[in-house]
Structure 1
Amino acid sequence: MHSSKLHAIAVFVARSIVVGLAVAFVLSVFAPGLVDRLRGTGSAPATMAGAQTSYARSGPVSYADAVSRASPAVVNIYANRVTMTRPAYPVSDPLSRRLLGYALGPIRQQRDQSLGSGVIFSTDGYVLTNNHVITGADDIQVLLDDGRVAQAQVTGTDAETDLAVLKIAEHNLPAIEVAGDASADVGDVVLAIGNPAGVGKTVTMGIVSATGRQLNMSAYEDFIQTDAAINAGNSGGALVNALGELIGINTAVYNKPISSGLGRAPEMPEGIGFAIPVATAKAVLDQIVKHGHVIRGWIGADYADIPPANGATARQQGVVVVRVVPESPAAQVDLQVGDLLLKLDGVAIADQVDLRNREAALAPGTKVRLEGLRGNVPFALDVVLVQRPAPSTTGA
């Protein structure tokens, strides 16, 4: 009897050892990490460290530091205008009302105020904003971040980029810090700071949705598109990166209705705002401060991008001439509508934005060589640029 009990115990122990070895083998093959943790080899802390590293790379928990860095340089702008109105009154007599409708009252003056934002670019009081914010204003006031109100004078405007430079008689102001790498990449986190709807300084967050956007509002467009909320009153405010550095000047909200389909009324798109790249804004500011206006080189022609060839998806490099301004440098060298322009001074022309920006950056009096095709026949023309006239005289 005693012998049989010992035999039973031996069999039980043997079976337990076999089962344990089998389980260990399965775990070592299919869950090696679990085996390491059971052994206490320290792989679990390493995994946690990896998780923390991944989290740290996902972005900051708060953008408060970026806002506190940029916000003092963003101001509210109040532009006051005097407009003339003539109210209409209903005629009291029913018969006269049927014949005459409404009678016009006397012309009266009415004072209107538009709201916008601006960015302080220098400690001695130069403020950049949108031209449409201050157009027609006879009194412009700037509300600073510390509550002070300053009277502003217009240093100069540039309708072609919708920018204006103001000057306030204040010193030691908090100037905005411009991003060292001023480029904006799709997916970058951005913060829009301004005074939407006059409710006071507000910050919204989004990403760069696209770059190089053109809205056909002016000749020089290279907008940054963002889904950060930009509303009326944000115009002229700052678009900054996650470090609080300026990358653009908020300028427009896309307000073109889109079709809803199925006979329903068009809907207004949301989350589409635009900003002028800081490189463009800074160049305009510098010229206005120096000259009082922007000086641009001008060939004297309008261009369009070359459409893709049949069956192609990629756009061709170069531009096609769609208009030649009479008596302009282009007209004097016999540039013609329909000509394809492929190179400027030996460097390939990417598209119409590229050519406009390159000619605008050249000083009037500069001689350039245009190379292209006219009816598949190569040609080259030497053109002496002049200063670009005001938009009203070029028709642009």
Structure 2
Amino acid sequence: MGSAISQEIVRDELGKMKEALDNNSLSDVIKQSNINLNLLKNTTLDVAITGVSGVGKSSLVNALRGMTDFEEGAAETGTVETTMNAKGYPHPTFPKVTIWDLPGIGTPCFKAEEYLRKVNFERYDFFMILSSERFTTNDILLAREICNMNKKFYYVCTKVDRRVKSARRQQSFNEERTLETIRKYYCANLAKAGEFWPRVFLICSWDFNKYDFPLLQKTLENDLDDLKRYALITTMPNLSREVLKRKKDAMEGLIWTLSLVSGAVGVIPIPGLSTVCDFGILVGTMIDFCKVFGLDEDSLHRLASRVGKPVPVLRSAIKKSEVANRITREFVTRLWRRSTVCRTMTTAEIFLDFIPVLGSVFGGIGSFATTFYMLKSFLNDVEEDAANVLAIATAPYPSLPPQRKFRRGELKVN
């Protein structure tokens, strides 16, 4: 099994468990752990994307869901106002997260004074106000109303790639200077319309690695509470190693809680119950880890469609973990058998330090350590495999060597 977990890490986790039981009863700790797990699993996130007709709302909805504009279930795109009602598009892997494609404000179909009532603005957690040319007075009014509801909004300039491409024709082209000019233009436009502290994010829906999208993503995370932030991070596209690291950090927060629940079951004196529960926790959590990192068949097919590379090529990068649909009890059993010796060597002497304190109140210390060890190791493997998939997805195809031209009458020998 992948990356080894050091003795110090296991010792730290057992120390946290000891501290939790010193300050609270076992039943209280377990109760709170189950509450936390239920909150994480059931937290919803509703993201509203709005702006005038034709700015690329639907394309951004699809991109945030990891989809192209042409897949089944994608938001409809077009050059005219195709969004006539607020329509929610659940994330294909995590349906508790919904991206909403809202009608354009100020169009003949939706006048500004009717807009807020018709789209039910109270429903959404935050808003992206899009523009591809300039922001309007209606956009400013909309932003102020969002502020009145104590919610967050973000001005987002789309289709920046087109402006950059046009600027490349200039002999003195400099991309960084061009982007700063575009940003100043939009900020001046907003200031003129009455926005005193404008901030604009420049993005391209076709390539989230470019321009300001990584900054926008980090800003959204910082502005959300812990539960909403967790929901956002798990569904964000894998743009870079930094994003994968943030996903890993979020998943690590689950491991201690899941291990504690596993250990609690070990207290119950029913033969075989702990083993059954441990395997259930391990299988379910490993599948979730794979889905968060895009290592499931559906996600791989969507990624292949976006980057134009065969699914088997992307799948070949998964060396240490496994595709989600192949994670079964038998798969976990194989991992467990392979890691038995290593686990015993790294944790046996640590248990001796803690059992005098914990043993009388926590009979499931072995279940806790086993669950923690296996999930931590598997998460390390998943992050590494996801990074390998990302590298293949973003790498250009190798160029073919130039073919030598043959003269008339010259034989080509294979």
- Give the TM interval when normalised to the shorter protein: under 0.3
Instruction: Report the structure number with the largest CA radius of gyration.
Output: 1
Name which structure has the greater RCO, CA cutoff 8 Å, separation 6+: 2
Return the structure number with greater helix share.
Answer: 2
Return the structure number with greater strand share.
Answer: 1
- The two structures have a TM-score, normalised by structure 2, of 0.20
